[in-house]
Amino acid sequence: MSESIRLEDVRVAFGTLIALDGLSLTVAAGEIVGLLGPNGAGKTTTVDVCCGLRPPDGGAVSILGVDAIRSPREVRASIGVVPQDSGLYPELTAIEHLRLAAALYGLKQASSRTEAMLRLMGLWDRRHAQVATFSGGMRRRLALARALLHDPPVLFLDEPTLGVDVQGRRALWDHVARLRDEGRSVLLTTNYLDEAAALCDRVAIIDHGQLIVCEEPGALRREGGVTVVLTVETAGPLDAMTVLLSQHPSVAEVTRTDHSVRARLDEDSQVATVIAMAQTVAPLASVRVIEPSLEDVFLKVTGRELRE
């Protein structure tokens, strides 16, 4: 797959604060990559650098093969951006926003394109309503419509569902997923792990401006290991089972409750072995395997909670 977005050893500093510290990342055509990290990790700075809004102190950035540092104007014509704060004017209507955007991008088929985008986002019926009357989800959809108006092959979505209710988030996810189907490349920053898991082909976790890991959500989960909950009929053998399981090289942590033992494994391939080992101590009433969440993965790779 060809690369639409490429960041190579990008460094950005705000005085003594290092915002991006040698960040390297690629996004292929038709791929959605989620940039996941706590507040201040460098997500928005990454988007700014890609858009040419902030020249990096070092490294290289290219969009569709064009140097974003040397030719920011050329790059801007081929990207669409949904910023974190939407940048909408409350007193303007939906259609007025798109008309302004069409003028700024010099679109020739402005009317038909505006209608198409508003219909696509389900805002056509509210096209003459002022944005002040819109819900959070509608505002974000309008921002997405504006970003797509000039049909850009590359999109940057900065926290696209921030402040949007559950229903609105689902609707936006559908729209974002459709972008991939249309062959567009999307770099999406988010604080929501479920969003990253649901939408992204790959998830890049950054912290302190550095890329910690970049994997498919499934692979990340696997890296996070699994937890096996083993329940027995009587509490008697639980101590012996705890001691035995803690000796297994793949078991990272064992905890016991009244009627069960929880064993966290580094590798999910060892689940069967651990269950068999437990059964040598006592018959098991039930076995439950819990996959790790991305939050667990984040905690594991960065050593801290996502929203610290």
The reply on whether position 279 binds another protein by CB under 8 A is no
Alpha helix ranges (H) inside 106-206: 110-120, 136-148, 166-181, 193-199
DSSP 293: P
Q: In this complex, which beta carbon is closest to another protein, that of residue 154 or of residue 241?
A: 154
Our CA dihedral for 165, 30, 147, 195, rounded to 10 degrees, sits at 20
Shortest Å, Cβ 306 to another protein: 24
Residues 89 to 128 in contact with another protein, rule: CB under 8 A = 89, 100-101, 103-106
Indicate the residue type of 138: M
Q: In this complex, which beta carbon is closest to another protein, that of residue 123 or of residue 228?
A: 123
Q: In this complex, which beta carbon is closest to another protein, that of residue 88 or of residue 252?
A: 88
| Angle at CA of residue 225, ends 224 and 227, nearest 5° | 125
The reply on whether position 190 binds another protein by CB under 8 A is no
Contact partners, residue 215, CB within 8 Å, separation at least 6:
202, 203, 223
Q: Which of 1, 77, 177, 235 binds another protein (CB under 8 A)?
A: 77
Shortest Å, Cβ 162 to another protein: 12
Q: In this complex, which beta carbon is closest to another protein, that of residue 54 or of residue 208?
A: 54
Q: Which of 28, 66, 88, 162 binds another protein (CB under 8 A)?
A: 88
Q: In this complex, which beta carbon is closest to another protein, that of residue 137 or of residue 224?
A: 137
Residues 132 to 161 in contact with another protein, rule: CB under 8 A = 146
DSSP 234: S
3-class secondary structure, 260: strand
State the pairing for strand pair 251-256/260-265: antiparallel
CB atoms within 10 A of CB 280: 9
Q: Which of 28, 69, 84, 282 binds another protein (CB under 8 A)?
A: 84
Shortest Å, Cβ 114 to another protein: 16
CA pair distance 124, 114, nearest whole angstrom: 9
Shortest Å, Cβ 84 to another protein: 7
Q: In this complex, which beta carbon is closest to another protein, that of residue 75 or of residue 230?
A: 75
CA pair distance 95, 188, nearest whole angstrom: 25
State the pairing for strand pair 226-232/260-265: antiparallel
CA pair distance 296, 301, nearest whole angstrom: 9
Q: In this complex, which beta carbon is closest to another protein, that of residue 77 or of residue 235?
A: 77
Q: In this complex, which beta carbon is closest to another protein, that of residue 151 or of residue 295?
A: 151
The reply on whether position 79 binds another protein by CB under 8 A is yes
Q: Which of 6, 43, 76, 169 binds another protein (CB under 8 A)?
A: 76
State the pairing for strand pair 185-190/154-158: parallel
CA pair distance 291, 6, nearest whole angstrom: 32
Residues 26 to 65 in contact with another protein, rule: CB under 8 A = 51, 53
What is the contact surface with another protein in residues (CB under 8 A)?
51, 53, 73, 76-77, 79, 81, 83-89, 100-101, 103-106, 146
